Amino acid sequence: MSLEDQVLLALQYWREYRTYFHIAQSWNINESTAFRLVRRGQGHIDSFRSV
């Protein structure tokens, strides 16, 4: 999944308080994949802040 999509997943999780289940349903991925991608997206956002 692209960097932009990973960041978008993390933002959906934080801003909309969506569960991993609902994010997974929206993106047609497994719940465990949603969890992993949200964590990656959070890492990308943290790296943007430090620049």
Average pLDDT, the chain: 90
Please determine, for residue 6, whether its predicted confidence score (pLDDT) is greater than 70.
Answer: yes
Please determine, for residue 49, whether its predicted confidence score (pLDDT) is greater than 80.
Answer: no
Q: In this predicted model, what pLDDT tens digit does every residue of 21-41 receive, in sequence order?
A: 999 999 999 999 999 999 998
What pLDDT score was predicted for residue 51?
66
Going by C-alpha positions, the residue among 14, 51, 25, 20 that lies closest to residue 37 is: 20
Please determine, for residue 3, whether its predicted confidence score (pLDDT) is greater than 80.
Answer: yes
Contact 7, 45 (CB under 8 A): yes
Residues 38-49 have a mean pLDDT of 86
